[in-house]
Amino acid sequence: MRISVPTEIKDNEFRVAITPAGVHALVQRGHVVTVQAGAGLGSAIPDADYAAAGATLTEDVAGLWSEADMILKVKEPVADEYELMRPGQLLFTYLHLAADRPLTEALLSRRVTSIAYETVETDDGGLPLLAPMSEIAGRLGAQVGANELLKPRGGSGVLLGGAAGVRAGQVVVLGGGTAGLRAAQVSAGMGADVTVFDVSPSRMRYIDEVTDGRIRTRYSTEFDVARACADADLVIGAVLVPGSRTPSLVTHEMVTNMRSGSVLVDIAIDQGGCFEDSHPTTHTDPTFTVEGITFYCVANMPGAVPYTSTYALTNATLPYVLQLADSGWQAACAARGDLARGLTTHDGVLYTEGVGQALGIEVGDRAALLA
């Protein structure tokens, strides 16, 4: 199979979709790997390392896309890349289509076969390709939230860890999944007073057990979330509905009742966000204010720590990449239920139920396709 790895061009996205070790594994199996020159530099991987692993380096972006049977990326294609996609091509990357109608329509009109990292789901509900980036985004959420609370940044001037005789910062985390738990743990590690809201009793019990009760858990209701936000210095939104648009849990009215200078970090923004006032921002211009409250809504947070993120992500994706390359997408999806659940588009048809519901697009029968 001919596999191409383009340089990511999303704002301040420094990750790359494969490491030299991954290239070597593919080449050893007889596949041809082409990497765009400079694709790994943001992750401290020089072109020479890819060449030594057996990759072909190129500066011809159009050629790289046109010749590929499979495109490996980290983030979804942006508008400048839509015309580079061709019918029948396999695209393996994060997509987050429930909040992105233009890309969804482009994939369908270009008749691209796409498999989304974030909807590859194991039989027990695990999300193996989303988990490493959720872990990193959660940890970053606490860090950037603490930074935005600094007075020179426009925050309230509250230190999350407090000081002797001074209260600690109040942190509310919405969602107790991988990202939410990591955000809560880092916040608690800074000395903050942390509460996690979730709707799963078993997940709340798990959080209580692994943190020895240091992090409080509460069942998520609109009434209790509103009261908690009113007292919070930092709210971190980490709600996830795999493949679907994120529900909005913090309304504009709730924001108006928060203390001036408080901060909201929306980790779920790439799926639409869980704050009513959220809209995607970039690392170049990461924040905006509403009613004196700072919103941080960067849609590719792990891109800020590309060395860590690239290796964490490719550790998870490589086994799937190898199977797709060796067997082809249809046989690989037929053999693996988790990979099949990630199948998003093929030959002009959408196959992810949550995306169809969010965008009002008819969804095809995935089981019939793979049969």
Residue 245 has pLDDT above 90, yes or no: no
What DSSP element (H or E) covers 35? Answer: strand 32-36
With b meaning 16 or more CB within 10 Å and e meaning fewer, what string describes 124-157? eeebebbbbbbbbbbbbbbbbbbebbeeeebbbe
pLDDT of res. 190: 97
Which candidate, 261, 118, 231, 221, places its Cα nearest to that of 179? 118
Specify whether the CB–CB gap between 354 and 245 falls below 8 A: yes
Check whether 304 has a pLDDT greater than 90.
yes
Question: In the prediction, which pLDDT does 99 show?
Answer: 87
Tell me what pLDDT residue 242 has: 79
Q: Residue 309 pLDDT more than 90?
A: yes
Q: Is residue 224 annotated as a catalytic residue, yes or no? A: no
Residues 6+ apart with CB under 8 A from 277: 252, 255, 290, 295
Q: How many CA atoms lie within 13 A of 343 on its CB side?
A: 29
User: What integer pLDDT is reported at residue 243 of this predicted model?
Assistant: 78
For the beta carbon of residue 39, count every other beta carbon within 10 angstroms.
23
The verdict on whether 96 is a catalytic residue reads yes
Q: Judge contact between 16 and 310, C-beta under 8 A.
A: yes
Residue 246 in 3-state DSSP? coil
| 180: three-class secondary structure by DSSP | helix
pLDDT in tens, 125-145: 999 999 999 999 999 999 999
Catalytic member of 270, 277, 338, 346:
270
Q: How many residues does the chain have?
A: 371
Query: One of 31, 96, 193, 277 is an active-site residue; which one?
Result: 96
Total Cβ atoms within 10 A of residue 4: 27
User: Using one digit for the tens of pLDDT, what is the confidence trace for 163-186?
Assistant: 999 999 999 999 999 999 999 999
Residues 170-193, buried b or exposed e (16+ Cβ, 10 A)? bbbbbbbbbbbbbbbbbbbebebb
Is the confidence at residue 241, as pLDDT, over 90?
Answer: no
Residue pLDDT, tens place only, 324-342: 999 999 999 999 999 999 9
Residue 116: closest CA among 333, 309, 281, 312: 333
User: In this predicted structure, what is the pLDDT of residue 131?
Assistant: 94
Mean pLDDT computed over 259-288 = 96
Question: What confidence score (pLDDT) does residue 240 get?
Answer: 85
pLDDT range class, residue 201, cuts 50, 70, 90: very high
Q: What is the spatial distance between Cα 29 and Cα 23, in angstroms, rounded to a whole number?
A: 10
| pLDDT band, residue 246 (cuts 50/70/90) | confident
Q: What is the CA radius of gyration of the chain?
A: 21
CA 339 – CA 333 distance, rounded (Å): 5
Mean pLDDT of the chain: 96
Which residue reads 């700072």 in tokens? 294
Average pLDDT over residues 219-247: 93
pLDDT tier for residue 244 given thresholds of 50, 70 and 90: confident
pLDDT in the model for residue 71: 98
Q: How much of the chain, in percent, has pLDDT values that exceed 90?
A: 96
Compute the distance between CA of residue 103 and CA of residue 6 in angstroms, rounded to an integer.
18
